[in-house]
Amino acid sequence: MQKAPDPGPFPRYGLYGEIGADVEPLHVETLASRSRPNRWRILPHRHGDLLQILWVQSGGGRMTLDADVFTLSPGLLVAIPAGAVHGFEFEEGSDGFVLMVSGDFLAVHGGGVAQPVVAVPSRADALDAAFAALLEAFGGASAGRGAALAGWALVVLSHVACGGPAARTVVTTAVRVVQSYRAAVERRLADPGSVQALAKEVGVARSTLVRACMEVVGRTPLQLIHDRQMLEARRLLAYSTLSVAEVGYQLGFADPSYFSRFFLRCAGISPLDWRQRQVRP
């Protein structure tokens, strides 16, 4: 590993080269599908709220990750958190898989692995099978598609969490702050309180928290609260028999009409209309 040149400003993407594109909570594709059209070179960039996991099966190349440069080779597993600047120069014909995992998915299923990792896992065959199953499920349309995607993604995340003897973990101060803040929001979801109070719980000044959130995920601390409340609201509306008012109460909204206005502002549709759309055949 060697030092990379000091990075300047970099574009922020959902998927590389697609500004403003909607991305599912889980997105998987082959390494070659995006690298080949770009002549095997992915310019330095960052992702707003997505953990990127790269599994190199063949070929290799070079990866810049923030201020470092890594050599890529078959059997290498890389996890790049939201906000980290990274780019690739692959050998022609390289292949493998790329999995994008949203911050909301990590908040629900565990965000402890959302930090840069470069590792050589001991079970390459298991990762090959998991990624192949992910790609198959991603392209499918069965009723169990979401469950299959989540299950196989958690298998991949478990390999990232385990790392390996060659694992190297890098955690920036901003990433630590955002991870701690997300955990605090999760603990206080029914009554998150003010951003100032949450910053105090995390142990940083409000201004520091704002800078960290904007740097890592491109969202303000208040927007991250609202994002998590909306995720929970949609889940309760879709999968519970709670009334709209009761869903609001679960999320700390004492006034049902205020909750409905909040949902409408965030989603562009009322909570009742959103629920009715989910049950249509």
CATH level 2 (architecture), domain 2-169: Sandwich (2.60)
User: Which strands sit side by side in the sheet containing 86-90, from one edge to the other?
Assistant: 2-3, 68-72, 61-65, 86-90, 41-47, 12-13
Q: Is 147 exposed, middle or buried (0-12, 13-18, 19+ CB in 10 A)?
A: exposed
Per residue in 226-279, pLDDT tens?
A: 988 988 888 788 778 899 999 999 999 999 999 999 999 998 999 999 888 876
Q: Say yes or no to pLDDT of 35 above 90.
A: yes
**CA 163 to CA 107: how far, in whole Å?**
20
- Positions of CATH 1.10.10.60 in the chain: 173-278
Q: Is the pTM of this model over 0.85?
A: no
Q: Could you please state the CATH topology (level 3) that the domain comprising 173-278 is classified under.
A: Arc Repressor Mutant, subunit A (1.10.10)
Q: How confident is the model at residue 113 (pLDDT cuts 50, 70, 90)?
A: low
Per residue in 166-215, pLDDT tens?
A: 444 444 677 778 878 988 888 888 888 899 999 999 999 999 999 988 87
- Positions of CATH 2.60.120.280 in the chain: 2-169
